[in-house]
Amino acid sequence: MNPSPQVGDVYPSLFYENAGEMIEWLCRAFGFAQRFVMRGPDGRIEHSELTCGAAVIMVASPNLELGFDCPHNPPYVNQVLSIRIDDPDAHYAQAKAEGAIIVRELKDEDYGSRGYMAKDPEGFVWCFATYRPGQYWEI
């Protein structure tokens, strides 16, 4: 594993019907660099990390179990704002106390992160976790 490069603590997750094709297009058209792609057993893009300068976005295939789909398929969510935090347990407790709708409970992930997902009162989905993009990049 390579040490993480310096990246920010806010990175959007975008869900595309044809995530693999969109990754290639985003690189060609908008100048993103593909840093990391994780495919599922069926070839779907489970997670990816692209950079443009110091900016990072994550692109994945739809996950209807979590209610995530591409923009042209309402009423699903098509983007998630991910925020890196140091203390997900305290953050989770505060968010829950303030009435956040928990979409995915606080948990430890196989890739070493701990966090949760919640909706704000207007329906935006947020992921708060210890994860920071860059851990698996080959630089």
0.85 surpassed by pTM:
no
Residue at 138 is within a domain: no
pLDDT of residue 47: 92
Residue at 106 is within a domain: yes
Number of domains observed in the structure of the chain? 1
pLDDT of residue 135: 67
pLDDT of residue 72: 75
For residue 40, give its domain range.
10-129
Residue at 93 is within a domain: yes
Q: pLDDT digits over 31-59, tens only?
A: 789 999 999 989 999 999 998 777 788 89
Residue at 3 is within a domain: no
pLDDT of residue 73: 74
Sheet hosting strand 79-84, strand order edge to edge: 33-39, 45-52, 55-60, 10-15, 79-84, 125-129, 114-119, 101-108
Residue at 101 is within a domain: yes
Instruction: List the CATH number of the domain containing 36.
Output: 3.10.180.10
Residue at 137 is within a domain: no
The residue assigned the tokens 């430890």 is 108
- Which residue stretches of the chain have pLDDT < 50? 1-3
